[in-house]
């Protein structure tokens, strides 16, 4: 099968080794120490293992050895060369072709054209399988990992849609690199400013209504449509759900008056393009909420402020406020906006707001949220108070802080991994009957992708080509890490693309396995975890049944050292290392290599029992 | 299982002639037959004969063979039992010492001769001949995009069917796609439902799922039944029970059996008792960990101190080829019973048995706490 090897291009042996080196060096490269559980678990590992390679040393080493990467064959040439050693492509194609120095042992393909007057993509006459590279040298430029500190000059010659060839010798910042590339396109303003915001909270707290209202106020829903929703809702006897219907579109959801799967909506705040992920609040639907919230960068926790409801939400067994807050924190989200909704029901009482703020504050602190990253806002979605502007109602005048929209603007975007190879976990698969195309939606975790790129779809291990990209229903040319996009794929069958799979760069496939070693933090559980315990395993958008095959050790929560080997069972609040065997294989990477694919959740009996990171992938399929 | 003839000697040996009537009985036979026993049954064998001209002719001959058991195989999917062994009786077609594979079939009597019929084996035999109605429950465990159909029998739970579909999210243009995919999924599940559930055998059908999927499916089922005039469903509408669970994966079958309305129906059957016993074990393990233990070593130690109140075992332990192990466990069971404790031998084909098997296969609830077990290695 053509796609089965990783690097099939005929090349010098040295090339391959070089490539591997890159990868290893890159592994030791900095991991942003975000503040999530995963990191706490991971950081301790790092110090304990004592990686031994000082990351500064690596960077310094790389600085001394300046290379530029050939856009065609991705070989790293020394700075002094003006043409690629491997394939002979010019470094600066605008230069007169006759001045080209030489093309060395070209055992790739003799038909490879000079890239001299390059307007369009370099011709695909390259005989090797990675001919995709010619069209997607944009992928090379944007998607491939780069040395952090090295200067890499690239020929940005073949660039879809631009035609202008540029040579940029960039210094450290890779995002700046992309910015330069983008300028000729005149499309995006540079660094992606898409913010993924998850809306979570206990059932019936007003999440969908709040989201619907925001969309309406910011003009994303026309007056006519809103009117239509209101009419229909009233007809069904659910007049108060009018705004929620903007998010809950399926007849099932409207009939029951709940959200069942995550509703995705786009809106623009002053600073960001916000993607709202309206999650279900129902107990039974937490798996759906996990799948949706996996994409979140920040969250809005909606609380029902009326008497009794807040207490109900905080209930340990039946309340979702707790579970959602814990889950969101485990996703690495540290910035959270707490909206105390339905304030109109309690007459905008400041006391009620303060009680709630205090109780919630203690809880959130225990989850690991810093007080500075939590913003509390009293509001009323029904009455439109404090949503996008300062409250008009006199009773709310005691409140001095920002409105919800302003709070959204004050969120800081997390760091995005543009430099790593392209990776996108598939959230949803849509098949349009009209064309023979499959669309995969999801949030791009690493790297960037363009129309025309060749990609690898896992776990079916099939290759496909990107026909086009859609962001917020508008086609766009390029999508970068952090963007929520829909990728239209060509050349692949429907049953090869599944939700829970991964789309990645063909040369950097993700491991597929069903046997993993995890480091977990156990939440409050009623029954202990034993060997053989069966539970549901959630990782990015995939879920499957799993059982514990071995409990390796229990760790001390503070130091991370092993306190007991092979314990009989695991109790609440313990840190442990366990091995699990899954029913189905999933795409997974160790947490240290890729966060999005290394975070797991274990659920059983309707509650989340543990959260963990993948420390070792045993028996990967490649 | 119909016991036709019983001939047991006071020293423990003897032979029993029995006729299996349903799949469960094959499982029982699988548990009873051990290496070294003699099984005789009528079977078919291909026999080579030399014709007068010198050419060889093969013929399928029906004969009665008695073989000494060397290996036993139970086929879960096909519910068949195959026994391999050496021929013992002198026979015109088959020489003594030749290997043959017997297939135990339903409604065909066979004779089992054992050197030693121990108490566990006798117990099982008695249970099998009990004409009590079997549990027979059909369970459809589903969640959006995944459905399993199980048939819970007296001692065996079989997976009859598994339906999987990919259902997209519902937003924007894909709303129609969601409905269509869901309908297709429900239709597939319904077909499996109709094919495998025979209401004359099954006591009731349970539809279980987290969330609202079960209600959706139930509605769909009834609607289609009305539309296509499917008599089995319409007549047995009242025998369909809806149960909420926390997920659609196989291990939630346990929750289904624990649900109160299902428990009422199956409470006098073996499956229910097993589920209850295991549930007790887990609750004690969480409330008072030193009063419960699992693993052969721990249970041995507990037994020495006569601390065992309830003993839980899987029948796999009795099936090991090693006579000594079997003997050991039989002794364990007998002594627990002698000290007024209870012993449950769980079928490893049931959900509870499976779970116990994952926990090493043997567990015990103790009369008094034994904290020193914590330090003992497993």
What is the C-alpha R_g of chain B?
25
Query: Tens digit of pLDDT for each residue in B4-36?
Result: 888 888 888 888 888 887 777 888 888 888 888
Residue among B170, B357, B360 minimizing CB distance to A250 = B170
Cβ contacts of B168 on chain A, cutoff 8 Å: 428-430, 499
* Residue B317 clears pLDDT 70, i.e. is over it: yes
Mean pLDDT of B334-356: 84
Answer yes or no: is pLDDT of B249 > 80.
yes
Cis before residue A459, ω within 30 degrees of 0? yes
Tokens of B5: 């003839």
Q: What was the pLDDT predicted at A95?
A: 45
| Nearby residues of A109 by Cβ (< 8 Å), 6 or more positions away | A87, A125, A126, A127, A128
The structure's pTM equals: 0.69
Say whether A430 and B358 touch across the interface (CB within 8 A).
no
Q: Which residues of B touch A265 (CB under 8 A)?
A: 171
Lowest-confidence segment of A146-155, A496-505, A531-540 by average pLDDT: A146-155
Mutate to test the interface with A, among B159, B168, B314 (most CBs of A within 10 A): B168
- What is each CA distance from A534 to A139, A514, A605, B352, in whole angstroms? 42, 14, 10, 12
Distance CA A295, CA A297 (A): 7
pLDDT of B280 > 80? The answer is yes
Torsion of CA B371, B374, B376, B378, to 10 degrees: 130
Evaluate whether B44 touches B61 at the Cβ level (below 8 Å).
yes
B283 touches chain A (CB under 8 A): yes
Which residues, in sequence order, are CB contacts of A318 under 8 Å at separation 6+? A283, A312
Q: How far is B152 from chain A, CA to nearest CA, in Å?
A: 20
Query: Is B166 within 8 Å of A429 when comparing Cβ atoms?
Result: yes
Q: What is the pLDDT at residue A580?
A: 92
Q: Residues B155-191: pLDDT tens digits?
A: 777 888 888 887 776 655 556 677 788 888 999 999 8
CA torsion sign, A354 to A357 to A360 to A361? negative
> Could you tell me which residue, A398 or A89, shows the higher pLDDT?
A398
Are A250 and B244 a contacting pair at CB < 8 A? no
| Percent of chain A's residues with pLDDT above 90 | 3
Closest C-alpha among B286, B326, B307, B324 to residue B372 = B307
Q: Which of residues 463-522 of A touch B (CB under 8 A)?
A: 473, 498-499
If you average pLDDT over residues A41-51, what whole number do you get?
A: 51
At A581 the pLDDT is: 92
pLDDT-derived band of residue A25, with 50, 70 and 90 as boundaries? very low
A249 touches chain B (CB under 8 A): yes
User: What CA–CA distance (Å, rounded) separates A25 from A525?
Assistant: 41
């Amino acid at each position: 099968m053509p796609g089965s090897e990783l690097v099939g291009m005929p090349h010098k042996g040295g090339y391959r080794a070089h490539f591997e080196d890159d990868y290893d060096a890159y592994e030791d490269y900095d991991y942003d120490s975000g503040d999530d559980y995963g990191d706490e678990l991971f950081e301790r590992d790092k110090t304990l293992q004592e990686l031994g390679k000082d990351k500064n040393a690596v960077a310094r080493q790389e600085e001394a050895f300046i290379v530029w990467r050939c856009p065609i064959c991705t070989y790293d040439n020394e700075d002094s060369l003006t043409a690629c050693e491997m394939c002979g492509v010019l470094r600066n194609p605008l230069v007169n072709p006759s001045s080209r120095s030489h093309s060395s042992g070209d055992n790739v393909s003799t038909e490879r054209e000079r890239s001299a007057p390059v307007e369009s993509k370099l011709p695909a006459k390259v005989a090797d399988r990675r001919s995709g590279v010619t069209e997607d040298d944009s992928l090379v430029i944007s998607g491939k990992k780069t040395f952090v500190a090295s200067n890499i000059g690239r020929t940005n010659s073949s660039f879809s849609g631009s035609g202008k060839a540029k040579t940029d010798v960039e210094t450290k910042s890779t995002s700046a690199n992309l910015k330069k590339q983008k300028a000729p396109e005149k499309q995006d303003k540079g660094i992606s400013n898409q913010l993924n915001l998850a809306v979570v909270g206990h059932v019936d707290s007003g999440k969908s209504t709040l989201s619907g209202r925001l969309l309406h106020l910011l003009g994303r829903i026309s007056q006519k449509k809103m009117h239509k929703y209101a009419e229909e809702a009233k007809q069904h006897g659910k007049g108060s759900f009018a705004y929620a219907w903007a998010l809950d579109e399926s007849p099932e959801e409207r009939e029951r008056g709940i959200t069942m799967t995550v509703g995705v909506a786009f809106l623009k705040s002053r600073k960001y393009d916000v993607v709202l992920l309206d999650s279900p609040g129902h107990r039974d639907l937490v798996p759906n909420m996990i799948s949706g919230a996996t994409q979140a960068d920040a969250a809005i926790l909606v609380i029902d402020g009326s008497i009794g409801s807040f207490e109900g939400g905080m209930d340990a067994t039946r309340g979702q406020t707790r579970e959602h807050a814990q889950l969101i924190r485990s996703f690495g989200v540290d910035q959270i906006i707490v909206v105390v909704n339905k304030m109109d029901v309690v007459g905008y009482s400041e006391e009620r707001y303060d009680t709630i703020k205090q109780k919630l504050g203690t809880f959130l602190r225990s989850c690991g949220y810093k007080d500075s990253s939590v913003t509390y806002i009293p509001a009323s979605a029904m009455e439109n108070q404090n949503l996008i502007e300062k409250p008009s109602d006199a009773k709310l005048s005691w409140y001095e802080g920002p409105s919800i929209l302003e709070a959204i603007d004050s969120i800081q975007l997390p760091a995005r991994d543009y430099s790593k190879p392209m990776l996108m976990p598939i959230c949803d698969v849509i098949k349009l009957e009209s064309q023979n195309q499959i669309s995969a939606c999801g949030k791009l975790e690493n790297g960037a992708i363009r129309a025309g790129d060749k990609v690898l779809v896992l776990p079916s291990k099939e290759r496909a080509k990107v026909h086009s990209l859609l962001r917020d229903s508008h086609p766009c040319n390029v999508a970068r890490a952090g963007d929520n996009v829909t990728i239209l794929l060509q050349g692949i069958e429907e049953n090869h693309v599944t939700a829970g799979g991964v789309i990645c760069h063909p040369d950097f496939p993700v491991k597929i396995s069903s046997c993993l070693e995890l480091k977990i933090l156990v939440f409050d559980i009623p029954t202990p975890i034993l060997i053989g315990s069966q539970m549901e395993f959630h990782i990015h958008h995939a879920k499957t049944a799993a059982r514990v095959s071995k409990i390796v050790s229990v760790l001390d929560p503070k130091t991370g050292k092993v306190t007991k080997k092979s314990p009989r069972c695991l109790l609440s609040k313990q840190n442990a290392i366990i091995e699990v065997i899954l029913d189905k294989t999933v795409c997974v990477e160790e947490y240290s290599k890729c966060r999005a694919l290394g975070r797991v959740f274990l659920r059983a009996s309707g509650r989340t029992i543990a959260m963990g990171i993948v420390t070792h992938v045993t028996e990967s399929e490649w | 299982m119909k016991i036709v003839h019983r001939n047991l000697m006071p020293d423990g040996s003897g032979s029993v002639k029995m006729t299996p009537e349903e799949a469960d009985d094959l499982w029982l036979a699988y548990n009873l037959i051990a290496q070294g026993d003699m099984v005789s049954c009528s079977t078919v064998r291909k026999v080579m004969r030399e014709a007068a001209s010198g050419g060889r002719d093969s013929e399928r001959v029906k004969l009665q063979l008695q073989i000494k058991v060397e290996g036993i195989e139970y086929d879960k999917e096909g519910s068949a039992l195959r026994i391999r062994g050496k021929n013992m009786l002198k026979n015109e077609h088959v020489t003594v010492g030749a290997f043959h594979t017997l297939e135990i079939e339903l409604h065909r009597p066979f004779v089992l001769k054992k050197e030693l019929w121990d108490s566990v084996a006798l117990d099982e035999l008695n249970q099998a001949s009990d004409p009590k109605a079997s549990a027979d429950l059909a369970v459809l465990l589903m969640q959006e995009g995944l459905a399993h159909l199980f048939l819970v029998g007296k001692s065996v739970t079989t997976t009859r069917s598994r339906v999987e579909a990919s259902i997209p999210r519902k937003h924007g243009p894909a709303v129609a796609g969601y409905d269509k995919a869901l309908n297709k999924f429900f239709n597939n599940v319904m077909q499996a439902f109709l094919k495998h559930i025979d209401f004359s055998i099954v006591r009731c059908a349970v539809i279980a799922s987290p969330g609202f999927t079960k209600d959706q499916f139930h509605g769909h089922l009834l609607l289609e039944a009305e539309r296509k005039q499917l008599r089995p469903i319409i007549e047995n509408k009242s025998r369909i029970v809806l149960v909420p669970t926390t997920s659609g994966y196989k291990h939630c079958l346990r929750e289904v059996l624990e649900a109160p309305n299902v428990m009422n129906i199956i409470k006098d059957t073996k499956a229910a008792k097993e589920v209850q016993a295991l549930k007790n074990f887990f609750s004690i393990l969480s409330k008072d960990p030193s009063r419960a233990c699992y693993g052969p070593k721990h249970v041995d130690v507990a037994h020495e101190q006569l601390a065992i109140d309830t003993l839980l075992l899987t029948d796999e332990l009795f099936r090991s080829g090693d006579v000594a192990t079997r003997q050991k466990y039989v002794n364990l069971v007998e002594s627990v019973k002698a000290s007024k404790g209870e012993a449950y031998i769980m079928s490893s084909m049931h959900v509870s048995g499976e779970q116990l098997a994952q926990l090493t296969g043997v567990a015990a609830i103790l009369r008094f706490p034994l904290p020193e077990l914590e330090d003992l290695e497993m």
